[in-house]
Amino acid sequence: MNNIYSLSHRKEEPENGILYMVGTPIGNLNDLSQRALNILANVSLIACEDTRQTKKIISKFNISNKLISFNKHNSSIKIPKIVNELKEGKSIAIVSDAGMPGICDPGEDIARCVKSEGIDVICVPGACAAITALVSSGLPSSSFIFEGFLPKKKIDRDKILLEISKNQKTTIIYESPKRLKKLLEELFDFCGGDREITVSRELTKKFEEHVGNNINEVIEYFRDKDVIGEITIVLKGINKKRDFNHDKLIIKKDLNDLIKAGLSLSAASKYLAKKNGFKKSEIYNII
């Protein structure tokens, strides 16, 4: 047991020509691991989403190192430069403002480019809002889908929301506080009000909050509130057995869309009956 403990606490020196993807806290700075601190202190430079944010982190732990900006706005310019630095033998750490680089940020792009050049990429794990919210939710976690931020364009957004509504797996979604209420209404339209859900905000911080149990209750809870803090949503999947109430919900929505597109009620009902394996009269009954 002592040998295992000693091995797990050996000081790891960053190696030359390696890209380190370093997880940073999502709120509580005490979540930064000792391994991450050591890597950040000893790499040749740190490429960060926002140098001002990263400076706060390293200043707290008395780390002094060279910082450069690397984010979605300048990634196409910075990636070739970082690759060249790695080829010259420098060790570089990539960090986002919070959480794991590569999750909903350009860390994904640089990891792919660096690996295509035959350069090693090593992950130094840290906090992740998606996993933190999932574990806290109590919803099924053995199999899940991470959607990140949903598209803003309606046609793309509706397509993914429809997929989510039919999925048997737990779904994790990121959302901004300003758009949370809109997304909850969309989830109500596509999934119904009884679907189990947990909305987590301010994860790992002093005012951490987890709101459930179903979409109806969550909509009511946030109705008259000013929402603050980053939001992570965990939505339970549909039951394995065909959910008739869910079918009715989707058919109603499809029917309205078809009528808005110019089809008559009769033509739209006939089409949906054939598509969903119902009789035309059953579509009328659903309405």
Low-confidence winner among 66-70, 224-228, 250-254 (lowest mean pLDDT) = 250-254
Examine domains 2-127 and 130-235 and report if their fold is the same. Answer: no
DSSP states of the chain? -HHHHHHHTPPPPPPTT-EEEE-B-SS-GGGS-HHHHHHHHHSSEEEES-HHHHHHHHHHTT----EEE-STTTHHHHHHHHHHHHHTT--EEEE-SSB-TTSSSTHHHHHHHHHHTT--EEEE----HHHHHHHHH-S--SSEEEEEEPPSSHHHHHHHHHHHHH-SSEEEEEE-GGGHHHHHHHHHHHH-TTSBEEEEESTTSTT-EEE-SBHHHHHHHHTTS---S-EEEEEPPPPSS--HHHHHHHHHHHHHHHHHTT--HHHHHHHHHHHHT--HHHHHHH-
With a pLDDT cut of 90, the percent of the chain lying above it is 75
Q: Is the pLDDT reported for residue 5 higher than 90?
A: no
The CATH architecture annotation of domain 130-235 reads 2-Layer Sandwich (3.30)
Q: Does domain 2-127 have CATH number 3.40.1010.10?
A: yes
Q: What pLDDT does 150 receive? A: 97
Low-confidence winner among 175-189, 235-249, 253-267 (lowest mean pLDDT) = 235-249
Domain range list for the chain: 2-127, 130-235, 244-286
pTM of the model: 0.79
